[in-house]
Amino acid sequence: MTQHETSTAAIDPGTWHEGRVGLWLIGARGSIGTVVSVGLHAMLAELAPPTGCTTASEAFAGVPLPAFADLVVGGHDVSTTPLRQRAHELVESGMLAHRFVATADDALARTDAEIRPGYDPTTHLGSQADAVRRMAADITAFREGHGLTHVVVIDISSTEPILEDHVEFHDADLLTAALEDPDRALLPPSSIAALAAIESDSAYACFTPSAGLGLPTLRALATERGIPYAGQDGKTGETLLRTALAPMFMARSMRVLSWAGTNILGGGDGATLADPEAVRSKLATKTRGLVSLVGDHVVAPLHIDNVPDLGDVKTAWDHIHAEGFLSSRITTQTIWSAYDSMLAAPLILDIARLLALAAADGQRGVVPEFGFFFKDPWGSDVHDFSQQTVALRDWAHATGARVHAAAQTAVTPA
Amino acid sequence: MTQHETSTAAIDPGTWHEGRVGLWLIGARGSIGTVVSVGLHAMLAELAPPTGCTTASEAFAGVPLPAFADLVVGGHDVSTTPLRQRAHELVESGMLAHRFVATADDALARTDAEIRPGYDPTTHLGSQADAVRRMAADITAFREGHGLTHVVVIDISSTEPILEDHVEFHDADLLTAALEDPDRALLPPSSIAALAAIESDSAYACFTPSAGLGLPTLRALATERGIPYAGQDGKTGETLLRTALAPMFMARSMRVLSWAGTNILGGGDGATLADPEAVRSKLATKTRGLVSLVGDHVVAPLHIDNVPDLGDVKTAWDHIHAEGFLSSRITTQTIWSAYDSMLAAPLILDIARLLALAAADGQRGVVPEFGFFFKDPWGSDVHDFSQQTVALRDWAHATGARVHAAAQTAVTPA
Amino acid sequence: MTQHETSTAAIDPGTWHEGRVGLWLIGARGSIGTVVSVGLHAMLAELAPPTGCTTASEAFAGVPLPAFADLVVGGHDVSTTPLRQRAHELVESGMLAHRFVATADDALARTDAEIRPGYDPTTHLGSQADAVRRMAADITAFREGHGLTHVVVIDISSTEPILEDHVEFHDADLLTAALEDPDRALLPPSSIAALAAIESDSAYACFTPSAGLGLPTLRALATERGIPYAGQDGKTGETLLRTALAPMFMARSMRVLSWAGTNILGGGDGATLADPEAVRSKLATKTRGLVSLVGDHVVAPLHIDNVPDLGDVKTAWDHIHAEGFLSSRITTQTIWSAYDSMLAAPLILDIARLLALAAADGQRGVVPEFGFFFKDPWGSDVHDFSQQTVALRDWAHATGARVHAAAQTAVTPA
Amino acid sequence: MTQHETSTAAIDPGTWHEGRVGLWLIGARGSIGTVVSVGLHAMLAELAPPTGCTTASEAFAGVPLPAFADLVVGGHDVSTTPLRQRAHELVESGMLAHRFVATADDALARTDAEIRPGYDPTTHLGSQADAVRRMAADITAFREGHGLTHVVVIDISSTEPILEDHVEFHDADLLTAALEDPDRALLPPSSIAALAAIESDSAYACFTPSAGLGLPTLRALATERGIPYAGQDGKTGETLLRTALAPMFMARSMRVLSWAGTNILGGGDGATLADPEAVRSKLATKTRGLVSLVGDHVVAPLHIDNVPDLGDVKTAWDHIHAEGFLSSRITTQTIWSAYDSMLAAPLILDIARLLALAAADGQRGVVPEFGFFFKDPWGSDVHDFSQQTVALRDWAHATGARVHAAAQTAVTPA
């Protein structure tokens, strides 16, 4: 038995009493969205265990979470390529094994039928407020059509360029006026999607480095409206490794002098990040955690290169130079290589299950303990991955105990 | 400010009221011993900060520990090469910067004068009990000569071959009889040294994979005699990295399928480990923690090769294959390169300070929280380095608070 | 245009006038054999270009070689698993893309029909000479059945343990007597296959480190009987890289002090090499070339580990320490990762085409210029890969010119 | 005996009959210049063998080259920091062993006395033609003062930004006019130095990527004036490795799809290359050879990052993705780590010796066989390092034979 399993021994197994949960994906037809849909099918068909799903580990035993079978997937996307076709493309590229896709056609078609057109600023007619209302209506219809207790909106769409600040981002009235003006397109698509989540009373998570719910006015609105939310920018590969490794150097009082990194990848993500503006927002969130962990003296050049022939495999090389006793040189190099979308997909399922739990507990506003999942945690300065692991587990068990107790009370006759 | 610094904010600075502390090194003239002596000199001469000393970090602020100036070094060694010469050899080989050694001659000569002949089974006359008594007398004379409140014995001598089990290791009377028999040499040198620590009422730590105090009869005796002790096999490089990294995979519910490793090094350590018997004990302790963290299904071939031209730099390559969502392949490679003795030396100073604290608190027997320092922790199954970090800090602050309170009481007039 | 292409500009394109050529594989149903068969199908069906085939490059333009369509595949194997099933297993494991196998069923069935039972010492009845005669008859029947001008036998079966020397390996008469003795099984299967090649007047190549035609008596016999042959042990991955890289250090007068290597792999090859005896013969041939290139002072520990979860992907890490000007340290590390059978298969096709050319030219005995393909070249001390490249190209053009001229003469009317 | 040694067996040993040779370094007080001076001292004092000097290998046995003792060093530099001080700084940084510098003070002082102020456009008064005349006079005085038969000028100064084209670079008369105009500073310092070499009838080599003698008018002038010259941009580390490795992939008909690289380094070179303009010229020459070797379809992102804490050690990571048989993926990674100046210094000595030989042979204009030393060879399209190795050796032996024969003739009485 591994060590973390022992910590759950004292907790009674819990059961989810809250009915079905909607998982509404912004960018549902992208690589991550496709893997989420194929993966849910594969797990329900017992073709695959929930490897890679944090919430399926022993450490979460006893926490009342929706089962995978309780999840219903829908979403927005500007793409119209069917999930089935996307899935077969991912088989061709070597990302997905054929056996998981072979029997998934019907399941993917059902999910496809729940995907509505995303907000596309280049074709949208009317004000941005109209777009928000239309998208919120899509989500509400999804909720009602399936009789869902909770809906969790998760943004997994492509990285947007860094947003320049505007006065409207700090003043709710100005923002409202701007949104209603059909001649303005102030907010990026990710923030339109975040507003639709708020409008439809859904929980929300931002898995990208885009603005999303990150603007002050929007975050205030989300808290006021009472949705639980979390962000930002999924921590899947190189940054995960860095935040697991950096505390080791600090615990031993070594001085990390430099941490240089290079990422190479192709696929859709590579193409997006070939845009120098888009990559800037990614680089910013990637470096922030490192500086917080080892100090702002660290020299940390970082590159993301689009290398199309590599396809969806992302390879990251890091070179760490630390100073030890008597100025001794310690060098550590890491090479990480994996399909990024395959790392992200199970975390989407984890976030959906845990945000549903937060909603069941009536939590409002940002949930800092979700920092475990993110490069740039909202509501928290903690980047140390082991601290985040403990914090998330503790939060899940405490929240679960409350939800469990409430369910017990509810079913107890007078 | 980095994260771990914040955790110490609420703690009052403590002061060590217990006088000078002896650090008695078994193998005092080896590479680690030489670096310990040079390093103490360099820090006291303000040529170097205590980088690499865990106990000098903010996380230990407020814990009443002996200052570096409170430490007096002595030891046993079978070698007669003076420390000064050893230090200059380490400069030639590139391990030590010339500036730290340039002014160290007097300090090294003073330490050299405190080093007594080690136990050498090939030349020893008389019973092993005689050897223990002679060595214990050396330590006692050192303690009395310098008016030391506590002495900490730390074994940093060369790795011994794996010891076959004997009935005497489980029966105190049989062991006593064997030790008094001048025709038998049952115990390895590391255990003779451990007995001398017990006999002289010193605290003890085993920084090697050798038997040392690890035999059941000896551990019982140590507990009975009331010394605090800790072990085993210093966790300095590849294993440190592994125990920092493995929990990351587990926290994300990935399945680690294989973890292959190769170490190459020269120097004295390389030569010792070129002996297939000696390397076996090293490999055993290195793999134990990994299996405990990721499960015993892991395939973990591990090699240590003697490559003399590399000198004292140790380079380790690890290749980790983990399975993620939908059987997706995740490969991580790490390359660690450092002077092993430079990693070990500050930990020796940490252990000396912290075992002195344990002794001041009157702790008896194994101190499991020292697992932070060891590949194969005595008294603990915890290998996860971040858990060990938290445990050691908590232990130090709690122990320190008691020692501090006792000191306050002691100085309070009636 | 790349550099090596220019060197072929002056050479007239040649045409093969010698009819169809048999490619007889010892171990035809192994991974390499399966990839050879699938690959020939894929190239003939224009699903894949001849990437990886040396003889298909511009450097060989004008050399009269049999076309891929001129090759007919057959062989011996102790396994009865059909090629079709093997091919689908290689798709499942990720080695082969589904698209190459999807339409290959008929082609694989045709090849399967040409595979005869291999020599299995555990079940064989009669003398080893009987086995040789039976296998030679298989090859002759194959030649006659398909009207083949030349047959090339290539041994791609599993690595055998290192063979101890025997007096019979040096005395033809003693060997003959031993082979006819039904109670002895002196020769390993690889040498039985080599004798069958001689008996059937086929060209022969040994792609494994096994004994094969390597025994003195056998090589004398092969030369006497007039077959062209080449060996030994295909140079596909780590050793290829080493023999390309080592001359660079020498050309710059650096002194290579150590070259440490570790290989990890699973699959059938991994399992075979988990046998300490089999791995010894592999390690021996791998190190020989290195020593020849950089000098016998080099420290070169080398490991091959069976890591089943890695499947057929072989990963090799090399750490090279060279001394430069004023004892300066230069370290180079290489990490090679590829499917070994995919590297080997195109070389098998190259060897078949080139040995057919040698046969057409009437060459007898060992052809040293084939060292390009082998870790342990027969008839040559040259290991430098660039020298081997030049030598093979020069040989092919010179031989091709003779064969071309002879063909011209033959068709010229009197 | 290693392979390349055998090729020289048939060649008579030659002797240099041409007297002493001047080595005039542009940037004589930089890291490379300092190592050249320390190294010459160390070899003459028999403290070090000529490891790293190509011309000292067996392959050049019999070629009549000036001995190291025949070389006299001088140069230009804008820095006034004495060589002695620079040498001690390089000891402190770990680049140079103390033992080589300990006895070098007098030798370094003698060389220092031969270093004249370099051309500094920010302080220079008068026309650029004045600067050329002054610098040429410095070189001529050096030649005459020491009675040198030949002087070789080698530019090892810092990389300059890429130069924009000007009409004067293509028209000798316009250039002459511009140079005489005291209000213009058309040429970069590297080209002023190249003109001084021409003016003083010295041989010349450009070890940097700066313009130097690369401008068409200057190269025409050099050829017209009859000096032998070579360039450009020393091939010491990553590019050396690439041009040794790339031909391997091509020889096996693999298709190299991408070759991504990252270099990290500190020291003076790191600081210079932190200037985005300077780095552009470096990146351009680094990629050119790769494209020439593997085709211009290759995706080859390349970074050079200034990481000051790494000092003069340069570490380069390359990730190569090649396609093999049936679209199989082959990935190779290389990590190169060395002191760049220690790699460069022996090549400077090689170039000096070999250009003196060219001058002795009366060669005029570019010598393409020196491509062996350069990232961007002048007068040659050959980048394949093994082809360059053969070409240089052949050139040296052929040239040496002529020089040897001429010397024989000269001493033969009528």
> Residue D366's Cα: distance from chain center in Å?
14
Whether A324 and A351 map to the same domain: the answer is no
Interface test with C, best of B92, B93, B258 (most C CBs within 10 A): B258
Q: What is the pTM of this model?
A: 0.94
- Chain-chain contact of A253 with B53 (C-beta, under 8 angstroms): yes
Whether C299 and C376 map to the same domain: the answer is no
Beta strand pairing call for D329-339 and A203-206: unpaired
Q: How many CB atoms lie within 10 A of CB C208?
A: 24
- Chain-chain contact of A98 with C94 (C-beta, under 8 angstroms): no
pLDDT digits (tens, 9 = 90+) for A307-325: 999 998 999 999 999 999 9
pLDDT exceeds cutoff 80 at C7: no
Residue of A nearest to B235 (CA): A252
Q: What is the pLDDT of residue A414?
A: 45
- Chain-chain contact of D321 with A307 (C-beta, under 8 angstroms): yes
pLDDT band for C388, please (50, 70, 90 cuts). very high
- Mean pLDDT, chain D, as a whole number? 92
Alpha-carbon distance B348 to B343, whole Å? 10
Whether B141 and B66 map to the same domain: the answer is yes
Lowest mean pLDDT among A90-99, A212-221, C277-286, D169-178: C277-286
- Region D17-23 average pLDDT: 93
Whether B198 and B58 map to the same domain: the answer is yes
Q: What is the pLDDT of residue B288?
A: 83
- Region D362-379 average pLDDT: 96
Could you tell me which residues of chain C have a Cβ less than 8 Å from any Cβ in chain A? 91, 94, 97-98, 335
Residue whose pair of structure tokens reads 């000097």 in the numeric block: D53
3-state secondary structure of C54: helix
Q: What is the pLDDT of residue A9?
A: 35
Interface test with C, best of D35, D253, D294, D373 (most C CBs within 10 A): D253
pLDDT exceeds cutoff 70 at A7: no
Is D9 within the bounds of a domain?
no
DSSP codes of every residue in D174-196? HHHHHHH-TT---S-HHHHHHHH
- Which residue did the predictor score with more confidence, C67 or D278? C67
Residues of C in contact with D4 (CB under 8 A): 247, 250-251, 384
What percentage of chain B carries pLDDT values higher than 90? 84
Whether B172 and B219 map to the same domain: the answer is yes
Provide CB contacts within 8 A for C209, sequence distance 6+: C159, C232, C233, C281, C282, C284, C285, C375, C376
Is C4 within the bounds of a domain?
no
Q: What is the pLDDT of residue A413?
A: 53
Q: What is the pLDDT of residue C414?
A: 46
Alpha-carbon distance D279 to D272, whole Å? 8
Q: What is the pLDDT of residue D414?
A: 46
Q: How many CB atoms lie within 10 A of CB D144?
A: 9
pLDDT exceeds cutoff 90 at A288: no
Q: What is the pLDDT of residue D412?
A: 57
- Region A350-362 average pLDDT: 97
Is A91 within the bounds of a domain?
yes
| Cα angle B166, B167, B170; round to 5 | 105
Alpha-carbon distance C33 to C118, whole Å? 14
Whether B207 and B253 map to the same domain: the answer is no
pLDDT digits (tens, 9 = 90+) for A399-410: 999 998 988 887
- Region B371-382 average pLDDT: 96
Is C127 within the bounds of a domain?
yes
Lowest mean pLDDT among A8-22, D240-254, D306-320, D384-398: A8-22
pLDDT digits (tens, 9 = 90+) for B154-185: 999 998 988 999 999 999 999 999 999 999 99
Q: What is the pLDDT of residue B283?
A: 77
Of B307, B339, B371, the residue that ends a domain is B339
Whether B181 and B262 map to the same domain: the answer is no
Residue of A nearest to C96 (CA): A94
Q: What is the pLDDT of residue A64?
A: 95
Which value, in Å, is the radius of gyration of the alpha carbons in chain B?
Answer: 21
pLDDT exceeds cutoff 70 at D13: no
Residue of C nearest to D350 (CA): C252
pLDDT band for B92, please (50, 70, 90 cuts). confident
Give the residue numbers spanning the domain of C163: 21-234+342-411
- Chain-chain contact of C98 with A98 (C-beta, under 8 angstroms): yes
Q: Which of D131, D227, D116 minimizes the C-alpha distance to D179?
A: D131
Asked if B9 and B66 touch (Cβ cutoff 8 Å), the reply is: no
- Closest Cβ–Cβ partner in D258, D264, D308 for A309: D258
> Residue A384's Cα: distance from chain center in Å?
18
Of A339, A356, A388, the residue that ends a domain is A339
Q: What is the pLDDT of residue D14?
A: 66
Asked if B149 and B21 touch (Cβ cutoff 8 Å), the reply is: yes
Whether C144 and C288 map to the same domain: the answer is no
pLDDT digits (tens, 9 = 90+) for C317-341: 999 999 999 999 999 999 999 999 9
Lowest mean pLDDT among B49-53, B166-170, C397-401, D264-268: D264-268
- Region A233-262 average pLDDT: 96
Whether A130 and A34 map to the same domain: the answer is yes
**Residue B300, domain CATH:** 3.30.360.10
Of D339, D364, D399, the residue that ends a domain is D339
- Region A266-274 average pLDDT: 77
- Region B127-141 average pLDDT: 97
Which value, in Å, is the radius of gyration of the alpha carbons in chain D?
Answer: 21
Whether A378 and A333 map to the same domain: the answer is no
| Cα angle C132, C136, C141; round to 5 | 150
Residues of A in contact with C91 (CB under 8 A): 98
Alpha-carbon distance B6 to D169, whole Å? 63
- Region D275-297 average pLDDT: 81
Q: What is the pLDDT of residue C233?
A: 94
Alpha-carbon distance B329 to B331, whole Å? 6
Alpha-carbon distance B29 to B34, whole Å? 6
Q: Which of D238, D242, D236 minimizes the C-alpha distance to D342?
A: D236
Alpha-carbon distance D235 to D371, whole Å? 9
Is D160 within the bounds of a domain?
yes
pLDDT band for B331, please (50, 70, 90 cuts). very high
pLDDT band for B139, please (50, 70, 90 cuts). very high
pLDDT exceeds cutoff 70 at A233: yes
Asked if B369 and B395 touch (Cβ cutoff 8 Å), the reply is: yes
Residue B352 one-letter amino acid: A
pLDDT exceeds cutoff 60 at B212: yes
SS3 sequence of chain B: CCHHHHCCCCCCCCCCCCCCEEEEEECCCCHHHHHHHHHHHHHHCCCCCCCCCHHHCHHHCCCCCCCHHHEEEEEEECCCCCHHHHHHHHHHCCCCCHHHHCCCHHHHHHHHCCEEECCCCCCCCCCHHHHHHHHHHHHHHHHHHHCCCEEEEEECCCCCCCCCCCHHHHCHHHHHHHHHCCCCCCCCHHHHHHHHHHHCCCEEEECCCCCHHHCHHHHHHHHHHCCEEEECCECCCHHHHHHHHHHHHHHCCCEEEEEEEEEEECHHHHHHHCCHHHHHHHHHHHHHHHHHHHCCCCECCEEEEECHHHCCEEEEEEEEEEECHHHCEEEEEEEEEEEHHHHHHHHHHHHHHHHHHHHHCCCCEECHHHHHHECCCCCCCCCCHHHHHHHHHHHHHHHHHHHHHHHHHHHCCC
ipTM (interface pTM): 0.94
- Mean pLDDT, chain A, as a whole number? 92
- Chain-chain contact of B3 with A292 (C-beta, under 8 angstroms): yes
**Residue D111, domain CATH:** 3.40.50.720
Interface test with B, best of C257, C262, C294 (most B CBs within 10 A): C262
- Chain-chain contact of A307 with D258 (C-beta, under 8 angstroms): yes
C-alpha distance from C200 to closest chain D C-alpha (Å): 31
- Chain-chain contact of A260 with D262 (C-beta, under 8 angstroms): yes
pLDDT band for D390, please (50, 70, 90 cuts). very high
C-alpha distance from A236 to closest chain C C-alpha (Å): 22
pLDDT digits (tens, 9 = 90+) for D35-54: 999 999 999 999 999 999 99
- Chain-chain contact of A258 with D303 (C-beta, under 8 angstroms): no
Alpha-carbon distance D248 to D324, whole Å? 13
Residue C341 one-letter amino acid: S
B329 forms beta bridges with B323
- Region D242-270 average pLDDT: 93
pLDDT exceeds cutoff 90 at A4: no
**Structural domain count of chain B:** 2
Is D10 within the bounds of a domain?
no
pLDDT exceeds cutoff 60 at B410: yes
Residue of D nearest to B98 (CA): D92
Is A352 within the bounds of a domain?
yes
- Chain-chain contact of B319 with C264 (C-beta, under 8 angstroms): yes
Alpha-carbon distance C154 to C351, whole Å? 8
Whether B198 and B275 map to the same domain: the answer is no
Structure tokens at D306: 């200034």
Whether A281 and A189 map to the same domain: the answer is no
- Mean pLDDT, chain C, as a whole number? 92
Q: What is the pLDDT of residue C1?
A: 34
Is B27 within the bounds of a domain?
yes
